[in-house]
């Protein structure tokens, strides 16, 4: 019996001791606001408008890239000094010259055949005219004349031969023109596969070029990002968002101006992002009199993009470090007391949070660092933040 009662007695004694300790424990000391004023820096807030910035990144790519292919056969007779990797050229510049001899001969043959067919057609027209006169001498109407009597089939055949000869001349001239490979646009050479003396056939690769009048950057954006900018609609003539591209060139930070030109209109299945395309005019700064970018932006450069989004009105810009935990700010009231006030933020960037709820014009916010912000503590402004 004693063995059974012993554990019960121990538990009862422990419970009694715990109750006594709880009752006799002193009440916790309350931290009171110090009477000494704490020096702080403050900032007067007034509502304003702010442009939302959306950040993205991408790689600079050519607007147009072309692989040069030979459309005729022949030996390479001449190569332009600009036809080297990195060489630039204008639209219409001669890049390569193939041997045109065979095609010049073919053109002469086609022109000679055309002259012969024109002569035959003229001869056949004279015969048909004479046949019509002879038929008219019979006194019978022309509608009753047999086709062969008026030589109409022979005249039609002669005219068809002329058309065929003209087509052959046109084709010969086209092939002769194709022995001269000209640049289709302002661009730069990215690859060269032939040189002087090389014999090429139809469909032989000659090199690769790309346009440098403008370049493009594909910028991935999330749904949250898209909500901050005006979506681009098809056939929408509204002003498109401006973009600032940033990169480091030769250890120096550089910027280039660009603009959004279109949306690709699909959602990427891998990252669920949508892509907007930004265009940079004259990325290599080679266009004469161009007022665009002065520093070259090389193809393949990885850039960071800042897209100007929607404009929000009636917001208060507060420094990022002034927003405290729990979305609260420290304000100074008319009695120079600190008041912790909850706010609502609409947007934030690298420098500011933009508050659209909880503040009024003329509110004085504490922007200096504080050890502990205590509700009601006395503060003293020692200067305003810029």
Q: What would the pLDDT profile of 295-320 be if each residue is shown by its tens digit?
A: 889 999 999 999 988 888 898 999 98
- Sign for the CA dihedral angle at 138, 140, 146, 148 comes to positive
372 pLDDT more than 90: no
211-238 mean pLDDT: 79
- Sign for the CA dihedral angle at 35, 39, 44, 45 comes to negative
Query: Which of helix, strand or coil describes residue 189?
Result: strand
Helix 101-136 vs helix 152-177: crossing angle, to nearest 10: 160
pLDDT (0 to 100) of residue 80? 95
Residue with tokens 């990325």: 283
pLDDT-derived band at 370, boundaries 50, 70, 90: confident
Compute how many other C-beta atoms are within 10 angstroms of the C-beta atom of residue 232: 17
Per-residue pLDDT tens digits for 124-166: 888 878 877 777 777 777 666 677 766 788 888 899 999 999 9
* Cα end-to-end distance, the chain, whole Å: 83
Residue with the larger pLDDT of the pair 188 and 295 = 188
Q: What order do you get walking across the sheet with 38-44 strand by strand?
A: 338-342, 328-332, 364-366, 38-44, 379-384
Task: Evaluate if pTM is beyond 0.85.
Answer: no
Closest CA to 183 of 345, 50, 68, 39: 68
Non-local CB neighbours of 24 within 8 Å, separated by 6+ positions: none
Question: How far is Cα 248 from Cα 236, in angstroms, rounded to an integer?
Answer: 34
Per-residue pLDDT tens digits for 36-94: 788 888 889 998 888 888 899 999 999 999 999 999 999 999 999 999 999 999 999 99
For the chain, the residue count is: 386
How far is residue 32 CA from its own chain's centroid? 58
For 272, which DSSP code? -
* Residue 47, token pair as written in the block: 């509502």
pLDDT (0 to 100) of residue 226? 85
The DSSP H or E segment spanning 290 is: none
């Amino acid at each position: 019996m004693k063995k059974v009662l012993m554990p019960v007695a121990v538990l009862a004694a422990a419970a009694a001791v715990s109750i006594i300790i709880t009752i006799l424990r002193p009440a916790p000391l309350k931290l009171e606001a110090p009477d000494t004023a704490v020096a702080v820096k403050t900032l007067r807030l007034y509502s304003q408008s702010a442009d939302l910035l959306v950040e993205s990144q991408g790689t600079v790519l050519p607007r147009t890239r072309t692989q040069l292919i030979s459309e005729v056969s022949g030996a390479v007779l001449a190569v332009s000094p600009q036809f080297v990797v990195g060489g630039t050229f204008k639209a219409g510049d001669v890049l390569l010259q193939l041997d045109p001899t065979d095609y010049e001969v073919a053109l002469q043959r086609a022109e000679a055949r055309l002259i012969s067919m024109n002569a035959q057609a003229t001869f056949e027209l004279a015969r048909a005219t004479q046949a019509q006169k002879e038929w008219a001498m019979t006194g019978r109407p022309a509608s009753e004349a047999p086709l062969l009597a008026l030589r109409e089939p022979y005249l039609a055949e002669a005219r068809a031969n002329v058309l065929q000869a003209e087509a052959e001349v046109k084709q010969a001239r086209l092939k002769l023109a194709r022995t001269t490979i000209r640049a289709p646009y302002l661009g730069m050479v990215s690859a060269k596969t032939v040189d002087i003396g090389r014999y090429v056939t139809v469909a032989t690769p000659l090199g690769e070029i790309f346009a440098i009048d403008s370049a493009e950057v594909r910028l991935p954006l999330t749904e949250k990002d898209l909500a901050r900018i005006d979506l681009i609609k098809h056939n929408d003539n509204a002003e498109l968002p401006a973009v600032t591209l940033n990169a480091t060139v030769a250890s120096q930070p550089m910027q280039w101006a660009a603009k959004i030109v279109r949306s690709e209109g699909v959602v990427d299945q891998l990252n669920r992002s949508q892509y907007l395309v930004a265009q940079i005019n004259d990325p290599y700064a080679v266009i004469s009199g161009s007022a665009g970018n002065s520093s070259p932006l090389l193809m393949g450069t990885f850039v960071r993009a800042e897209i100007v989004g929607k404009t929000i009105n009636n917001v208060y810009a507060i420094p990022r470090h002034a927003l405290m935990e729990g979305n609260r700010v420290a304000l100074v009231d008319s009695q120079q007391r600190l008041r912790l006030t909850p706010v609502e933020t609409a947007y934030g960037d690298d420098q500011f949070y933009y508050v659209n709820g909880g503040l009024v014009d003329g509110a004085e916010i504490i922007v200096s660092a504080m050890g502990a912000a205590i509700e009601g503590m006395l503060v003293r402004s020692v200067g305003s933040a810029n």
